[in-house]
Amino acid sequence: MLIYEGIAIKRVFKLMWPYFEPYKVLLVIAVAASIITASTNGALAIAVKYVLDSIFIAKNYTYLFILPFAVMLIYVAKSGFLFLQGFLMSFIGNKVIEKLRNETFEKMIHLPVKYYAEESTGALMSRVTNDINLVQSSIPTIINMLRAVLTMIGLIGVIIYMNWQLALVAIVLYPIFIYPLSIISKKLRKYSTRGQESMGILTSVLQESFSGVRVVKAFVAEDKEMERFEKANAQTIKYANKSVLAGNLASPLTEALGSVGIAAVLFIGGYQVINGTVTTGEFFAFLAALIQIYEPVKLFASSNNALQAAVAASDRVFAMFKESDEVIENKGTKQCMAENKDIEFKHVSFIYKDNIYALKNVSFKVRAGSTVAFVGPSGAGKTTMAHLIPRFYDVTEGQILIDNVDIRDYDLFSLRHNISIVSQDAFLFNDTISNNISYSKESAAEEEIKAAAKAAYADEFIEKFPEKYDTLCGERGVKLSGGQKQRITIARALLKNPAILILDEATSALDTESERVVQKALDNLMKGRTSFVVAHRLSTILNADMIVVFNKGGVEAIGKHEEIIETSPTYKKLYEMQFKTEE
Ligand code: ADP
């Protein structure tokens, strides 16, 4: 067990030291304070000997005047240094949290999109909150363990010094009550992990039921949700009770078993006092030290639990640090200039995972300034194709060229500066309308923001709010309709003034009325730009310079409506099913 702890300490220490290093002077002070605190326990035990032997038995006045004062001093020193150690450790820990949290967020926000597709939002958030808190306790925990060990060594020294025969008896008897304790703490750990897992399930049931409350109600599924909740709740309570049972057993069990040791010590010690081999003071000092040993043992055990949690958490945090972020992956340096762009897809294939092609060998060329409609059944690869352009994902095989340069050779950020995306879920931040629009261009002047909003047909409804452009939107702000939100995101895209535009089913979530306004806004946005439109409306398709029909990850046909209606069965079917009704 000790070897295992040693490895854990070494591992955490190696990872965490760089964060604690700037505070090494304070750490040295904290360690020194620990050593002093540890030694006061032994000193107090020794004081017991002199109190009994010199004051109570020998009735010596000098000791009467010195000892109470000395005991007081020891206690004052103990409290003072305990405070110093505790305060310094928390202070340093908080500083480390601050830095580590910033670094973790910085790392995460630069991770590629694929990382976010694989991890749940909850798990990612827990990394920045819970995990970091656990990790920061690593080195303070190690110092606590050091204090526990030093205190133990000091107290063991005292009992051996006072009475080595009795010490031997105590040391032999010790494992008898430590062993059951270690079994209990192992169980405790198991139950607390299980309890946390079921608490996680409970929270996710809560989150799902609340955010999907309309679905729940529409399907009259309240009972079903209740059942799920009750099951998770019962599970949580089951482990909580098991924890409580084990937790409450620990202390009485220790005392009951400890009583065997105390009885043995009393018997042997009492015998030694009666026949005069040890003094009363020595015996009680021994007893005082022995009883005190329990505290550092407990501290060591609880610190050990904290250390294990810190090891697990630091593994999670630092595993993420090893992921290569977009900046590392992207080695391109060419600047992508804001002019009209010719784009070419050359034998593009893409695999998300498991060797299943989401796109296979797709090739076509797009002239600068033209509008390309992506059509095809759901799952055909349209969105995937659109996401390859701003390099949310990189092609598995083949190339995408902008003005004859592989997009991987461009500086990633300069590439993205040239692209705007408007998608089905119009995402707004919890901020003012003005700031939501200027998110794409922080330096934008008020008039520019207003002009963009006007072109996006958003100005009119914004002006109707009492606070106009300073109106808060997002979760805590005004309720905007889907169409209004979409027009704000279009204004945001307009302000960025990109050469390339990606519209991913931008109007599909809207009703016909607001769709019409949003479409007008989109028409303004698309003017003079190379646009890729994942389309579901006939008018968009008929106006497109080029239609690319996707089917099962491949391109089935390319051309204008009249060119492909007879040659592409997929397009013909889609047209008849979906678009013809609009005619
Ligand atoms: P479309 O936009 O034409 O409906 P998509 O491009 O969204 O199609 O999807 C193409 C294929 O890729 C589908 O089979 C889909 O299941 C798969 N796919 C999409 N996103 C992911 C992802 N993040 N991980 C794994 N597979 C995905």
Q: What is the pLDDT of residue 123?
A: 72
Query: Going by DSSP bridges, is the β-strand pair 530-534/500-504 parallel, antiparallel, or unpaired?
Result: parallel
Position 212 scores a pLDDT of 83
The residue type found at 9 is I
CB atoms under 10 Å from CB of 532, counted, come to 26
Contact partners, residue 417, CB within 8 Å, separation at least 6: 336, 338, 496, 498
Residue nearest to atom 21 of ligand 1 (CA): 352
Q: Which atom of ligand 1 is nearest to the CA of 385?
A: 6
CB atoms < 10 A from the CB of 216, how many?
A: 16
Q: Is 398 in the pocket of ligand 1 (CB under 6 A)?
A: no
Query: How many other CB atoms sit within 10 Å of the CB of residue 73?
Result: 12
Domains of the chain: 2-325 (1.20.1560.10), 330-416+543-583 (3.40.50.300)
275 CB-side CA count, 13 A? 6
Number of helices and strands in the chain (H, E): 22, 10
Q: End-to-end distance of the chain based on CA atoms, in angstroms?
A: 76
Tokens at 413, concatenated? 């950020």
266-316 pLDDT, tens digit per residue, is 899 999 999 999 899 999 999 889 888 888 888 887 888 778 778 878 888
Ligand 1 site, residue 426, Cβ cutoff 6 A: no
Strands 554-559 and 530-534: unpaired
Scan for tokens 């608490």, then name that residue. 199
* Intervals of the chain under pLDDT 70: 1-5, 122, 327-330, 338-340, 474-478, 509, 579-583
Give per-residue pLDDT as tens, 306-336: 787 788 788 888 888 887 777 666 677 788 7
Rounded to the nearest angstrom, the distance between the alpha carbon of 384 and the centre of ligand 1 is: 6
**Cα–Cα distance measured from residue 16 to residue 141, given in angstroms and rounded to the nearest whole number:** 12
Query: What pLDDT is attached to residue 305?
Result: 76
| For the CA of 352, the nearest atom of ligand 1 | 25
CB-neighbour burial class of residue 18 (10 A; exposed 0-12, middle 13-18, buried 19+)? exposed
Q: For residue 469, what is the DSSP state?
A: G
pLDDT at 427: 85
Answer whether 172 contacts ligand 1 (Cβ < 6 A).
no
Pocket test for ligand 1, best of 354, 374, 382, 384 (most atoms within 8 A of CB): 384
Indicate if ligand 1 lies below 6 Å from the C-beta of 379.
yes
The pTM assigned to this predicted structure is: 0.77
CA of 535 to the centre of ligand 1 (A): 16
In short, whether 376's Cβ falls inside 6 Å of ligand 1 is: yes
Measure the CA dihedral 71/72/78/80, to 10°. -160
Note the pLDDT of residue 388.
93
How confident is the model at residue 338, as a pLDDT?
61
Q: Is the CB of 112 under 6 A from ligand 1?
A: no
Determine the pLDDT at residue 265.
87
* Cβ(536) – ligand 1 distance below 6 Å: no
Map 364-382 to HEC letters. Answer: EEECCCCEEEEECCCCCCH
CB 581 near ligand 1, within 6 Å: no
How far apart are the C-alpha atoms of 557 and 538, rounded to whole Å? Answer: 17
